[in-house]
Structure formats: structure tokens, C-alpha cells
Amino acid sequence: MNDPDVIAGIMNNVSTTQGISRMKAAEAKVDGTLISLPGGDVKLAVGVEYYKLNLRTGQLRGRREAQTGTDIRLSRNVKSAYAEVLVPIFGPGNAIPGFHSLQLDVAGRIDKYSDVGTTKNPKIGVNWEPVADLKLHGSYGESFRAPLLTQLVSAGGSQLYIQNYYDPTVGTTVQGVALSGGNLDLKPETARTWSFGGEYSPAFLPRAQLSLNYFDVVYKGQINGYLSNLNVLRQEDLYSSIITRGLPAKERTAALIASGLTVNGGTPANALAADVFIDGRPSNLGTTITRGLDFGLAVPFETADAGEFRFSLRGTHFFTYKVGITPDSPIIDQANNIDYPLKWRARGIVGWSKGGFDGSLVVAWQNGYNNTYVAPVEHIKSYTTVDLRLAYDLEGTGIPGTEGVRIGLDVQNLFDRDPPFVDLAPTSNGGGGGFDPQTTNAIGRMISVSLSKTF
């Protein structure tokens, strides 16, 4: 049996995290019709905003009679102004061949942050209907996201964690020390986005639509943290700016311990013996360049006696997904590599409804991809699942009390397909165990029955 004193000591060890945030906000906005043109009404919206956020957070930990902790306070205020104008160049009053409709949408926004500076972000969009059945659109915009206050500071302050990392230079796991906490040096994230596409909705087939949309996004200064990533040493060339080895690692660990940081997962002596140091705090590390295509097709059609049939197909294709994990790492196309978007994903639905019955089969498919965490690179097979959805509205049966009553049967992974094997060992941080939890589910077939009533 366990020593009662040991049990009492465990029960007396308490960790409590608290946080209080208060926000004051005000907005003034004017919008409406500015003037009328042959193509339609010119719409204008202008406004100003102000908000102030105060955050107080902290953590108490240790024995009840001798707890230590943190008490952190931060504030931010933001002053903003914005304007948007929608100009109909062609419309019902002046349409000509090739220009059934043409609209120009121009917007701009200025935000002044008390802690991270001022940003100016424009946006412009064009909507063009050459004919009534075809809509084309394009847009360009810039955006800005300030770091969250909870990314600047952590309730528990900075701490050190002893973790096991697989090190390919020695062929086994090694102990390393990871630094957690907030980062007051964070800068805003920025993005530049443009897109164009269209929708075709033929008049001869009501509710049918074919859509295509191309997108191009450059995202810089992404705030990422790799505290829980135990595979960083497998790709040290990509994570070099957050990895320190040898004597410099020991010196940095020693300095942080001397400053009073808590060591988790071991003793300070264990931490000082580690030859690897990982800065796991959130930092402006990433750059992502994304180019891809969203596509969709929906074809519903009704019959005189057999009910309504539905077919739809939607998916995404990434032409490229280039990533610079840290400022020092090269920008590499990671599309179709593990932990990144797959090049192809598609989802098709075949459905039928008649009277109170509605049923559909949903087919989800994803292409094969690469496991770059092992050498040689492992190719993961493509994966397809089928879901079944059946429902019946009892209201039409004439049974008393069935108004608004609906019964349903859902079967996920109808054919109980196992996910493809992926050479990922289980980790203390979760995941792994022979499959990729980010792209598949190991639960298998799951059946659910529902009964609902609307009033």
C-alpha cells in the first residue's frame, strides 16, 4: 500500500490557473445609398471603432501552505476606421451584350494598435455577369492579425519541460529541454490574398451549379510554437532557428534555471544534463505560400413520380503549399507531405428523397501522400470512406402526435475501412500508433439513431 504521507503530499499539491479579461468597445457606422446610377445604387459604408482589452492572468502552484505563482497584467487599445463603396457599373437599367451586370467593390481599413503599431489594409473586388447564367468574380486584399495577449504572456509564466526527442544523428531518443510561455517580442502576422473564379447556373436546370475558384495566399510572420513537436530533430535543417545543441544548450538551460524557471518532467540536474534545447514559445516563425483550386458541382433534378434525385461533388486541389517553418529554413513545397494539406480531397453525395423519406450516400476520398518523418520516405495509400444517412418524417403518416417528428439513421464509415498504415510511433503527446490522426479516424464504423421533434 502507498504511504499515507505520500498520498497526503500528492493531494496537497495544487495548481490553479485564473484569468480575467475585460473589454470595452464602441462603434459608429453610417451606411446606405450614396447616389443612383443606370446600373443601380452606389452603396457606401464608413465607420470608426474603438476597443480596449485588459487581461489579468496568473497561476498558483505548489503545496497549499507555501504556494508560489504569477500575476500578469496586460492591456491593449485599438482605434480603427474603415470605408467601403460598391459601384454598379452595369445592371438592369443599362445592361448590354457581354455585360449583364458588373460591380466594383473597393474597401479599406486602418487599425492603430497601442502595442504593435498601425496597419493599412485595402481590398478590391469585381463581380461580372457576362450573361444571366454565368457569374465571374475576382478579388485582391491584404490583412493583418495582431498576436493575442495570451500569446504574449502565459498564465504560468515561462517554464522548462524535459522531453524525449528522436535524434537521427544517434539513432535513438535523447532528452531535451523545451521552453514554454509567452513571447513579448511577437509581431503581427500579415497576408496578401487574391482569387478569381465563377459560378455557372444554367436556366434549363434549376438549382444546378458548377463552380470554380482559384486562390493565391501569401502568409508571413505566422505565429507558431513547437513545444509539443517531438520530431523537430528529424528535420533539424527546417527547425534550426529554435534548436540549440551542445554547450550553448546547457548554458541557456542553466541561465533560465538560475532566473527561477520551474523544471517539469524531471529535476534541474536532469535538465542541465540535456544536450538539446528547444525554444517552444510562440514566435513569428512561418511563411506559407498557398495556391489552389476549389471546385463544386451540384445537380438536383425532380421527377414526376420518383421523387427528387441529387448529385454533388466538391473538392480542393492544392497546386502548391510552400512553407518556411522558421525564418532560417528554406521555403519548401510541402503539399502532400504529412502534417500538411493533401493535394487532392473530394467529397461526393448521391441522394434521393420522396415523400417523408430522405437518404444519401456520402463518399469522401483523399489521395495518397508522403510520410517524410522516416527514411526512405514512406508513401501512404489513398483513403476512401462511405457514409450512409437515412431519415423519415413521420408527419405524413397520419399518426397522432407525429407532427414535426423525424427519425434518422447515420452510419459513418459504412464498410468499416481501416485507415492506411503510417509509420508513426505513439508519443506521450498523443497521436501516432500506426495511423495519421490528422487525416484519418481509427474508430471504424459508427452507427447512430436519432429521434427529433420540431415545434
Note the pLDDT tens digit of each residue in 8-49.
555 556 666 677 889 999 999 999 999 999 999 999 999 999
Residue type, 349: I
Phi/psi at 326 (5° precision): -135, 165
Confidence grade of residue 429 (pLDDT, cut at 50, 70, 90): very low
Confidence grade of residue 68 (pLDDT, cut at 50, 70, 90): low
| Residue 430: pLDDT over 60 | no
Q: What is the mean pLDDT of the chain?
A: 90
Which three cell numbers mark 168? 537521427
For residues 432 and 426, give the distance between their C-alpha atoms in angstroms, rounded to a whole number: 4
Q: What is the mean pLDDT of residues 387-404?
A: 88
| pTM score, whole prediction | 0.81
Report the first-to-last Cα separation within the chain, whole angstroms: 58
For residues 366 and 202, give the distance between their C-alpha atoms in angstroms, rounded to a whole number: 30
The conformational region for residue 430 under phi > 0 = left, psi -120 to 50 = alpha, else beta, is: left
Q: What is the pLDDT of residue 425?
A: 66
Confidence grade of residue 314 (pLDDT, cut at 50, 70, 90): very high
For residues 279 and 218, give the distance between their C-alpha atoms in angstroms, rounded to a whole number: 25
Q: What is the pLDDT of residue 3?
A: 65
